[in-house]
Chain A
């Protein structure tokens, strides 16, 4: 279906937190924008009708943290396959992290990705530029040039900005550009050699652990530097209760500190490395499913206390929004011992399903979940996305909040099949994703994109 066409999404539960809407209504899209949301009035437009009875209609999800791997690691993912996966997951816009090869630390790198996305991408793609050249942590990249190329923020993700002084300079310099520094907070001296969260599971498995303090030590540092410089600090993939608490206090003091959490950190704990899904106590014998490499991720999956704190933080807004940190890898890179395996989970296609667990278990109201996937990241980026207001871009996600399905990673459109949720039963599934008025994913056509 082409962009200019008229689409009438009929009878769904329209939830648009940006406009404080939660009602049964029809949504009409035309010429690539939202024409209007109609409650009782019968629409007179003619066009393609999508029957959304029993479904939720929301603004398209926005993912601020996504690894598309192209250029340089096309064997793991390409912009095409990654954005197709995004569409399948209900995301209409993603931000591409710069740890490609070469790293996106120059205008040329950014232009390549954005151009590629325009010609081959299925959803909107924004770029995040590297903080330092090559993300080597030694010298700032030409952040001004990157800003002019259109990046929405800076990150060396995959690596922390370890040098205290360089982080301070980055935050300071970024104030002239009004763009955030997104830091992967990990004190490398503390995390060195560690493979998973430090706790009873790592002890059980005989693996070296990464303690919460490895993240929190750098979060503390970054918050202090943000205060000193006035820069915008954003904590990538927060994983610990301590991080949430520090961000909460920083916000109370009025500092420009925000953070995000991933679907996996919000729903899975370090028990996932044991392979069985939560059954069996602390001292159950290990099964052959133990040392689950698909649960190996940076930062690691943490304790149930940390997961609980993140969920509460998401509910009360301390955790500003959800970002997937979609990290696809080739299967061979995960078929290995735990220590040999690379970090990363392929998230886009299971994000909604796993996040809906929080809604179904009563820990997060549905409109709040949608807000954290749409309006909140949009506000952070300062782009006019994330809502269904009239005249705005026709980026819409239609999903069934109650559809039960079993995750089958072989059916992923992402090249990355690395998920600890393979075989898991989830409740909540994307039915259709519309980007700029064009249907990019339609589950009823077995996932074909427009």
Chain B
């Protein structure tokens, strides 16, 4: 049983708001770098970059990060590795990690570990499209598209046109996947 919790327009508006929040907190786009976490964090990061460019008329570097090496749960099956490409030095910059769903927080912890191997950023912020709760680590998002309270046997699926052909966020319950 599943239902849509974010329609394409709602996604668009949420991202617009997030982009504004980022610019507001950072006082503009200077010194920012957006880093999307594979897989769907990457197109989200690029969309944010487009929005920021619309608003501020300046481009922001965008990187992609695969946290596969840094997971603390190697025992689970893994998907093939995607490229990690961070085009600028993160030294002294404000890094905004971008992901689609924030859940236990372990992915973000792994991402911060990975960033460590690239340098020492001035600050690390976290932007997510959906926060579904159930943190297992002391991780909190700075920018949230939508808060969606869920139970543990529910599943949040984010679909983006760049990867899945259309934009939608669905919540399913029961024996999914």
Q: Do chains A and B touch in the complex (CB under 8 A)?
A: no
* B interface residues (Cβ-Cβ under 8 A, vs A): none
* A interface residues (Cβ-Cβ under 8 A, vs B): none
